Amino acid sequence: MKFDTPATTNPIDQLKVVGQPVDRIDGRLKTTGQAPYAYEHNDAVRDHAYGYVVGAAIAKGRITGMDLRAARAAPGVLAVVTAENAGALGKGRMNTARLLAGPEVDHYHQAVAVVVAETFEQARDAAQMVQVSYAGAEGAFDLAAARDLAEKVDQSASATGDFEGAFATAPVQLDATYTTPDQSHAMMEPHASIAAWDGDRLVVWTSNQMIEWGAGDLARTLNMPREKVRLISPFIGGGFGGKLFLRTDAVMAALGSRAARRPVKVALQRPLMINNTTHRPATIQRIRIGTGRDGRIVAIGHESWSGDQPGGGPETAVDQTRLLYTGANRLTQLRLAVLDLPEGNAMRAPGEAPGLMALEIAMDEMAEKLGMDPVEFRVINDTQVDPNDTSRPFSRRQLVECLRTGAEQFGWSRRSARPGQAREGSWLLGMGVAAAFRNNLVMTSGARVRLDGRGEVTVETDMTDIGTGSYTIIAQTAAEMMGVTIDKVTVRLGDSSFPASAGSGGQWGANSSTAGVYAACVKLRNAVARKLGFNSADAVFEDGQVRAGNRSVTLAEAAGGEGMVAEDAIEFGELSKRFQQSTFGAHFVEVGVDAATGEVRIRRMLAVCAAGRILNPKTARSQVIGAMTMGVGGALMEELAVDTRRGFFVNHDLAAYEVPVHADIPHQEVIFLDEVDPMSSPMKAKGVGELGLCGVAAAIANAIYNATGVRVRDYPITLDKHLDRLPELA
């Protein structure tokens, strides 16, 4: 199905199942420990062995020798695979750095070997016996030091009007630089795979957000035909972008299995994950905003520096600045430095998350310079068209409504405009606001829908559920379309033998994958109507029956003993070019800052989101509160500490890379504005899972400033950064 004209009324609009706060259909499995994750497919493979990955001990250089004798002779060892004996390996399209080092080492903890043994304990023990000698090389590991060497990249670059001239003459100006650190996805389930060969065919049970990309890149890496690789990933213990791509666990399991002639399980050890896999790259961001005395933006410029491995890409932190606020004179520019740190890549809301961490502090600073309320300052600089091309409207844009609703619900009028004024005992209190913005991306997505002789519906697609609720919203979509209750729908996901889907990333999954299921259901409905001799335009699918005029047939009868099946995909046309499709929100935060220690506690959080039709308010709300929680991490604690001498992230486990815990998070409120967006898909939905993260950290930063009067522009805002400047204790 081509989607190239705005959606009109369709069966989804009935909202009998879609749009309802349905409990997750996989909830009973997850809460009882019965949902099988990658490492747990013990029923599918017999007699498996265990692989343990050895990571490089240098950040850059060459392996000069490997002594594997002790490891090979250790009890239970079946194979030791290194680049020397792995055979020729290709590289996945989505990978920047190779997944097995040798002889060159590209980054710290890049895999250099996998040791396969009968038991996990034996493999772990023997892995310590692998002796590797290296010739280290000089590398670049410090973004600040490499800043001047960074080169301009075309991606996300834009120039409209005369930014420099307009900024220079603007009556009110801000020119400030902000930094965001390297961050880690730190999902709870480690990257894990079980590989099993059957002749020249390979099956891998894995934990991957994008099955089609993963299967293709695994085939490419192993130099084998794509059709001989099958990936199975029904449950994924979190991804956040860290499992978008093929990672070394799948490759090492496949190579280890080939060498040991047994199925092999590999889970990346937690202390290896942060340096072995990808991370969100650090940024240095310079923002310049010029306004008139009335607060209207006349010039807005955003430049960002980040680093990556050779051949890698930039963190696109300037993207939102192209579209979020009005202003005739505009400039965005990214610069990319070559760094030899581990590979930088997408983490939840890549670009916008760190970009808004900076931009939305800048907006707060600018509002203060103008003596304006930060909500009002944002409201008067709203735009309903793409500011770079004013002929291009937003499909739906309710940023102002988000800000106004949030201000009212949060009690924003109680905020003191002057910082450092509100006290409660030893606590300095402050409120902060930030806008949330994330583009709505759409991706081709396919599905197969089967109707059986019991009138039950089965959906198959390689779509993944990484905690987002895909199982549930896909079941809701099929139930709505076929006119059955949700308990009559079975959803099977995450298998590369199913039709290729949008996968889970870039907050495109919910809208695109359900639209693909919609397309397949339309095809199935038409086939059912045809079979019954109904005019498909007249056929009503309701209560397990198909009706046309005064004829009525149950779905079970219609399907017959053999059942019926339809497969289709949604393909998106030009609507996303003709209309700017984005999602909007506003975050409001109240913090307390301990006047003596500088410790920050989050007291209240509210997000107001306008993101098209909300397919399931319960799971969508969870996406948003989860993102708000990650935003607390970004504001207050998350930072990969770079050893700029040795070239690695020092705090590479969950003890040292701090993420929010229960005690850090108060009760969180989320409001979804009523919205449908007929430009986005027949579902009229948009993404929401990344929107929830965008702007959170800045709202917290602004609340801290409001509490203390100390402006911190370098994340995370740890107490050492403002302790010496806090107001005197009364």
DSSP code string of 512-565: HHHHHHHHHHHHHHHHHHHHHT--TTT-EEETTEEEETTEEEEHHHHHTTT-EE
- Residue of 640, 715, 654, 656 lying closest to 108 (CA atoms): 640
From 269, 458, 490, 651, residue interacting with other proteins (rule: CB under 8 A): 269
Burial label, 154 (beta-carbon count in 10 A; 0-12, 13-18, 19+) = exposed
From 95, 193, 668, 680, residue interacting with other proteins (rule: CB under 8 A): 668
Q: Is residue 580 at the binding interface for other proteins, with CB under 8 A as the rule?
A: no
* Nearest distance, CB of residue 711 and other proteins, angstroms: 27
Q: Is residue 29 at the binding interface for other proteins, with CB under 8 A as the rule?
A: yes
Name the 3-class secondary structure at 499. Answer: coil
Q: Is residue 46 at the binding interface for other proteins, with CB under 8 A as the rule?
A: no
Mark the segment that binds other proteins (CB under 8 A) among 28-36, 171-179, 333-341, 424-432: 28-36
Could you tell me if 600 and 321 are in contact, meaning their C-beta atoms sit under 8 angstroms apart?
A: no
- Tell me whether strands 2-3 and 600-610 are parallel, antiparallel or unpaired: unpaired
**Pair of tokens at residue 14:** 């009935």
Q: Is residue 427 at the binding interface for other proteins, with CB under 8 A as the rule?
A: no
Where b means 16+ CB within 10 Å and e means fewer, 261-272 reads ebbbbbbbbeeb
Q: Is residue 187 at the binding interface for other proteins, with CB under 8 A as the rule?
A: yes
* Nearest distance, CB of residue 28 and other proteins, angstroms: 4
> For 530, what's the count of Cα atoms within 13 Å in the CB-facing half-sphere?
7
Please, which of residues 103-162 interact with other proteins by CB under 8 A?
119-122, 125
Does 690 qualify as catalytic in the annotation? yes
* Nearest distance, CB of residue 513 and other proteins, angstroms: 17
DSSP code string of 18-39: TTS-PPPTTHHHHHTT-S--GG
Considering CB under 8 A, how many residues would be counted as binding other proteins? 65
CA angle 356, 361, 364 (to 5 degrees): 125
Main-chain phi, psi angles of 588, to 5 degrees: -125, 135
Q: Is residue 35 at the binding interface for other proteins, with CB under 8 A as the rule?
A: yes
* Nearest distance, CB of residue 665 and other proteins, angstroms: 4
From 110, 383, 629, 702, residue interacting with other proteins (rule: CB under 8 A): 629
Residues in the chain: 730
The whole-angstrom separation of Cα 494 and Cα 497 is: 9
* Nearest distance, CB of residue 274 and other proteins, angstroms: 12
* Nearest distance, CB of residue 548 and other proteins, angstroms: 39
Torsion, Cα 587 592 597 599, to 10 degrees, reads: -40
From 666, 709, 719, 727, residue interacting with other proteins (rule: CB under 8 A): 666
Count CB atoms within 10 A of the CB of residue 350. 24
The whole-angstrom separation of Cα 88 and Cα 65 is: 19
Output the CA torsion sign for 232, 235, 237, 240. positive
Please, which of residues 448-467 interact with other proteins by CB under 8 A?
466-467
The whole-angstrom separation of Cα 130 and Cα 68 is: 5
- Tell me whether strands 329-338 and 151-160 are parallel, antiparallel or unpaired: antiparallel
Using CB under 8 A as the criterion, what x/- string covers residues 642-661 for binding other proteins? -----------xxx---xxx
Catalytic residue among 360, 365, 675, 690: 690
From 18, 254, 630, 676, residue interacting with other proteins (rule: CB under 8 A): 630
* Nearest distance, CB of residue 72 and other proteins, angstroms: 19
**Closer residue to other proteins in complex, CB, 693/701:** 693
Name the 3-class secondary structure at 117. Answer: strand
**Pair of tokens at residue 280:** 């969100």
**Closer residue to other proteins in complex, CB, 243/302:** 243
The whole-angstrom separation of Cα 205 and Cα 215 is: 11
From 12, 17, 19, 37, residue interacting with other proteins (rule: CB under 8 A): 37
> For 371, what's the count of Cα atoms within 13 Å in the CB-facing half-sphere?
3
Mark the segment that binds other proteins (CB under 8 A) among 86-94, 183-191, 301-309, 310-318: 183-191
Q: Is residue 189 at the binding interface for other proteins, with CB under 8 A as the rule?
A: yes
**Closer residue to other proteins in complex, CB, 181/239:** 239
Count CB atoms within 10 A of the CB of residue 186. 22
From 6, 27, 453, 563, residue interacting with other proteins (rule: CB under 8 A): 27
**3-state percent breakdown (helix, strand, coil) of the chain, nearest 5:** 30, 30, 45
* Nearest distance, CB of residue 467 and other proteins, angstroms: 3
Q: Is residue 487 at the binding interface for other proteins, with CB under 8 A as the rule?
A: no
From 351, 432, 626, 634, residue interacting with other proteins (rule: CB under 8 A): 626
**Closer residue to other proteins in complex, CB, 291/472:** 472
* Nearest distance, CB of residue 606 and other proteins, angstroms: 12
**Closer residue to other proteins in complex, CB, 236/712:** 236
Q: Is residue 475 at the binding interface for other proteins, with CB under 8 A as the rule?
A: no
Name the 3-class secondary structure at 94. Answer: coil
Please, which of residues 208-237 interact with other proteins by CB under 8 A?
235-237
Mark the segment that binds other proteins (CB under 8 A) among 8-16, 185-193, 339-347, 673-681: 185-193
**Closer residue to other proteins in complex, CB, 645/662:** 662
From 270, 418, 577, 725, residue interacting with other proteins (rule: CB under 8 A): 270
Q: Is residue 188 at the binding interface for other proteins, with CB under 8 A as the rule?
A: yes
Mark the segment that binds other proteins (CB under 8 A) among 268-276, 442-450, 487-495, 715-723: 268-276
- Tell me whether strands 422-424 and 229-232 are parallel, antiparallel or unpaired: unpaired
Mark the segment that binds other proteins (CB under 8 A) among 21-29, 285-293, 543-551, 592-600: 21-29
Mark the segment that binds other proteins (CB under 8 A) among 238-246, 350-358, 427-435, 722-730: 238-246
**Cis omega before residue 181 (within 30°)?**
no
From 66, 114, 115, 186, residue interacting with other proteins (rule: CB under 8 A): 186
**Closer residue to other proteins in complex, CB, 193/668:** 668
From 1, 16, 30, 404, residue interacting with other proteins (rule: CB under 8 A): 30
Using CB under 8 A as the criterion, what x/- string covers residues 594-623 for binding other proteins? ------------------------xx-xxx
CA separation, residue 596 to residues 220, 418, 707, 726, 729 (Å): 57, 20, 13, 8, 7
CA separation, residue 506 to residues 7, 24, 210, 467, 503 (Å): 22, 22, 11, 14, 9
From 379, 553, 665, 719, residue interacting with other proteins (rule: CB under 8 A): 665
- Residue of 459, 460, 443, 569 lying closest to 504 (CA atoms): 443
Could you tell me if 86 and 150 are in contact, meaning their C-beta atoms sit under 8 angstroms apart?
A: no
- Residue of 571, 582, 541 lying closest to 681 (CA atoms): 571
Q: Is residue 33 at the binding interface for other proteins, with CB under 8 A as the rule?
A: yes
From 628, 688, 697, 710, residue interacting with other proteins (rule: CB under 8 A): 628
**Pair of tokens at residue 653:** 């486990």
Count CB atoms within 10 A of the CB of residue 554. 13
* Nearest distance, CB of residue 492 and other proteins, angstroms: 17
The set of catalytic residues is 690
Q: Residue numbers of the site for other proteins (CB under 8 A)? A: 23-24, 26-37, 39-40, 42, 119-122, 125, 185-190, 235-240, 267, 269-271, 466-469, 618-619, 621-623, 625-630, 653-655, 659-663, 665-668
